[in-house]
Amino acid sequence: MRKMWKLFNLIFPSRCPSCNRFTDSLKHAPFCTDCWQSLTHNPDIKRCRTCGIALPSDYSFKCITCIKERPYYKKVYVFGDYDGALKTAINLLKFEKVRRLSIPLGELLASLSLPPVDVFLPVPLSKERLILRGFNQSHLLCHILSREFSIPMEPNILVKPGDIQPQSLLSRAKRLKNPKGAFSVIMSDRKLLPDRVFIVDDVMTTGATINECARVLLRAGVKEVYGAVLARTKSE
Ligand SMILES: [Zn+2]
Ligand SMILES: [Zn+2]
């Protein structure tokens, strides 16, 4: 396979977006093997027990935001910080539409040890945004998690009827307000609702999106909501 890839590179040279060397593997192209292997989950980073943000002190357990107001979700599991090669890979998937990166990125997320749940749910995109992007990156990651953990995914329980401005374009105050009322739960028979769910997303900034998803899911009758995200911004 490596020989084939080298040959492919001779014809269509592709360089690793992190170190600028030639790409040497199809598995996580365009990233080279060294850069991709540097993407590891570091359990020694002290993170908020609830929202997963990196904490400034080894003696803290929760961030100020979670202490002031407990989120609706129980805990968000974070693979890494939104930085370096991880940030580049997520942006290539999302904005440059390098869709194949969802497989190795999903496998990174699946390398976390997650508690057992009944179902994985992707953070939904509105129809308008789905048409613009062509795919929902959370859905693609969710698919890999579902395969790796042999737990079903259910993309139709949590929906986003109207569009709202992307979180990245808003100020922090607006970002926190923005998702209110943006999501709905569709389940005609409440008895069929799962008890424990994982909401899956690529990046978590303020946590307002996952919190709003958790709020509507709990209100609908789900008992416990967890989050799994590839990357957490270092500060809100
Ligand atoms: Zn590289
Ligand atoms: Zn927190």
> Are residues 30 and 46 both part of a single domain?
no
Pair (10, 109) in one structural domain = no
Q: Flag whether pLDDT at 1 surpasses 60.
A: no
Instruction: Please tell me the total count of domains within the chain.
Output: 2
- Residues, beta carbon < 5 Å, ion ligand 1: 16, 18-19, 32, 35
Domain harbouring 128, CATH code: 3.40.50
Location of structure tokens 């959370």: 138
For the chain, the first-to-last Cα distance in angstroms comes to 42
pLDDT score of 12: 54
> Is 119's pLDDT higher than 70?
yes
Q: Are residues 49 and 99 in the same domain?
A: yes
62 and 125 share one domain: yes
Tell me: do 70 and 21 sit in the same domain: no
Tokens representing residue 157 in the block? 């329980």
Q: Are residues 196 and 145 in the same domain?
A: yes
Q: Are residues 227 and 204 in contact, defined by beta-carbon separation less than 8 angstroms?
A: yes
131 and 191 housed in the same domain? yes
pLDDT for 60 equals: 87
**Residue 198, pLDDT score:** 98
Range of the domain at 201: 42-232
Q: What is the pTM of this model?
A: 0.87
**Amino acid 169: pLDDT:** 53
> Are residues 31 and 147 part of one domain?
no
Tell me: the pLDDT tens digits for 61-115?
999 999 999 999 999 999 999 999 999 999 999 999 999 999 999 999 999 999 9
Q: How far is the CA of 70 from the centre of ligand 2 (A)?
A: 8
Instruction: Report pLDDT for 92.
Output: 95
* Ligand nearest to the Cα of 19, by number: 1
What share of the chain has pLDDT > 90, as a percent? Answer: 68
Looking at the structure, tell me whether residues 100 and 30 fall in a common domain.
no
Question: What is the CA(89)–ligand 1 centre distance, in A?
Answer: 11
Helix, coil or strand: residue 204: strand
Q: Across all residues in the chain, what is the average pLDDT?
A: 88
Query: How far, in Å, from the CA of 16 to the mean position of ligand 1?
Result: 5
Does residue 165 share a domain with residue 213? yes
Residues 97 and 155 in one domain: yes
d(CA 105, CA 121): 17
Residue 112: Cβ-neighbour burial (10 angstroms; 0-12, 13-18, 19+): middle
